[in-house]
């Protein structure tokens, strides 16, 4: 159930926006029928966590939004703890955090946050929401949508593909790195990394893992 709440949040199912059954099925890699069954189950929970109407999608209630953001906080704190304290590589932490995020107590959460110094971001550049608060989604743009020859800074990278993370690390394309897109074609992007002045070609799948913001 928690996975569904988090997926609805990440797909934009808050306030007036609704997420389709198809979008959830694709995000969670399950059948549409399985999504429908779980949404019906979620809609019967008390306190009410989601508002679901067949053929019209689903969105989170205030209670559902609080639980979803709590899970996001758990996940991102755990990723940083695994990376900084237990020395997991940044391509290993996502799957471990996915398994652990549902089970940690508030006391454990508080201890992790204290040990890490109440961090603001996880290893992939994602903002860690404050405890008991609704988080925010930063204004970021996937790299292929960024205008040519305009300086940008990598604000975060997708943590869902371990192979992509390893490649980004090899190329030095980490959060905080400044770059500019020199060429953008249907199959690839040519980007210039500011710190070394060198250009690197990225296929579009890898480029779509990079989110940038104005410097």
Q: 195 versus 136: which is more confidently predicted?
A: 195
Q: Long-range contacts made by residues 11-14, C-beta under 8 angstroms, separation at least 24?
A: 13/50, 13/57, 13/58, 13/59, 13/60, 14/59, 14/60, 14/65
pLDDT for res 175: 97
| More confident position, 136 or 128 | 128
Please tell me whether the overall predicted TM-score, pTM, comes out greater than 0.75 for this model.
Answer: yes
pLDDT over 90 at 105, yes or no: yes
Task: Confirm whether 107 is domain-assigned.
Answer: no
| Residue 77 within any structural domain of the chain | no
Q: What CATH number does the domain containing 145 carry? A: 2.30.30.90
pLDDT band of 215, cuts 50, 70, 90: confident
The number of domains in the chain is: 2
Whether residue 108 lies inside any domain: the answer is: no
Quote the DSSP letter at residue 196. T
Q: Output the pLDDT for position 79.
A: 97
Domain boundaries, position 13: 2-60
Q: State mean pLDDT over 17-44.
A: 92
């Amino acid at each position: 159930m928690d996975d569904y709440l988090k997926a609805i949040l990440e797909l934009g199912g808050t306030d007036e926006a609704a997420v389709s059954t198809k979008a959830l099925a694709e995000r969670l890699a399950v059948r549409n029928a399985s999504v429908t069954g779980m949404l019906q189950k979620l809609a019967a929970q008390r306190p009410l966590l989601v508002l679901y109407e067949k053929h019209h999608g689903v969105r989170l209630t205030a209670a559902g939004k609080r639980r979803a953001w709590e899970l996001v906080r758990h996940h991102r704190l755990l990723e940083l703890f695994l990376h900084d304290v237990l020395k997991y590589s940044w391509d290993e932490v996502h799957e471990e955090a996915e398994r652990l995020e549902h089970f940690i107590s508030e006391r454990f959460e508080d201890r992790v946050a204290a040990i890490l110094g109440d961090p603001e971001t996880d290893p992939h550049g994602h903002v860690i929401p404050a405890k008991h608060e609704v988080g925010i989604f930063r204004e970021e743009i996937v790299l292929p949508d960024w205008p040519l020859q305009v300086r940008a800074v990598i604000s975060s990278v997708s943590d869902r593909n371990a192979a992509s993370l390893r490649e980004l690390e090899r190329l030095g394309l980490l959060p905080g790195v400044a770059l500019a897109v020199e060429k953008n074609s249907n199959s690839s992007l040519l980007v210039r990394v500011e710190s070394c002045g060198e250009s690197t070609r990225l296929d579009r799948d890898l480029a779509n893992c990079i989110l940038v913001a104005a410097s």
